[in-house]
Amino acid sequence: MKFLEYTPLDRINDFLREINLGERTIEGSLEAYSCKHTGTDKRLSLSLENEILDYLGKSSDTDSSPVEFLLSRSSRKTLIYLVLTLYHMYPDYDLSAVKAHQFFTEESWETFKQIFETYMLEVSKEWIEKYGGSSLLETLYKALDEVVNLSECEIYSYNPDSDADPLLEKGAIWSFSFFFYNRKLKRVVSFSFCCLSNLVGDGFLADNLYYEDGEIFDDMDM
């Protein structure tokens, strides 16, 4: 996978680098990649392919999801590209716990839009205050459309457990990762965004952020 530079993404990345909202900080990142293999990609692709085939060989229910989906070689290649994108996004993180067949879910733009508008509401207000004009979501849509042509894209979300979430190490209150994959262009754009507590001291267990009855969300504008 080769990292691609696009000016439309740079402006959004500069804005989302760190949005301080008092008790919490929102961070976001857009990265574009070509699906052309580089470096160790071929070895990793082979390893992932064998992992998926091993999983299919052990599964007794070929009519279930994701087994049925993975029977297609094209679908397996898609998931391998998504995992390789993760490897390049987080090169220093141990992603050996990532299981392609478990953590990626195909989504729609409407699903993404709903999540974005819910969790990025305050950030969107900051964008309008700073730039005016088009909303952050509209600007994001135009940028993604320019890079990967959204009408031809498959959209996937990454939904890992705690052992495979690179953002959990940072003490994220919540995090989302979406991948916009254009099969024709052989190009992927990842969009990850997360919320970090400014009140949590070093050493506080990240698990507490997720499981203490949602107390930390009480004052959030959702």
Contact present, 129 and 178 (Cβ < 8 Å): no
What's the burial of 2, exposed, middle or buried (CB within 10 Å: 0-12/13-18/19+)? middle
**Using N-to-C axis directions, what is the helix angle for 109-119 and 121-131, rounded to 10°?**
80
Q: DSSP 3-state assignment of 154?
A: strand
pLDDT digits (tens, 9 = 90+) for 107-129: 999 999 999 999 999 999 999 99
Enumerate the β-bridge partners of residue 28.
193
Q: What's the whole-number mean pLDDT along residues 154-160? A: 88
Alpha-helical runs (H) found in the chain: 7-16, 41-58, 67-70, 73-89, 100-103, 109-119, 121-131, 136-148, 206-211
Nearest-angstrom CA–CA distance, 95 and 97: 5
User: Can you give 155-172 as a three-state secondary structure string?
Assistant: EEEECCCHHHCCCHHHCE
Give phi and psi for 28, each to the nearest 5: -145, 160
Highest mean pLDDT among 18-22, 67-71, 82-86: 18-22
Contact present, 173 and 209 (Cβ < 8 Å): yes
Contact present, 177 and 189 (Cβ < 8 Å): no
Domains present along the chain, CATH in parentheses: 2-36+102-217 (3.40.1000.50)
Written as one letter, the residue type at 44 is L
pLDDT digits (tens, 9 = 90+) for 199-220: 865 444 444 444 444 444 445 4
In the chain, % of residues over pLDDT 70: 72
Nearest-angstrom CA–CA distance, 141 and 136: 9
Token look-up 């804005």 returns 15
Q: What is the pLDDT of residue 142?
A: 97
pTM of the model: 0.79
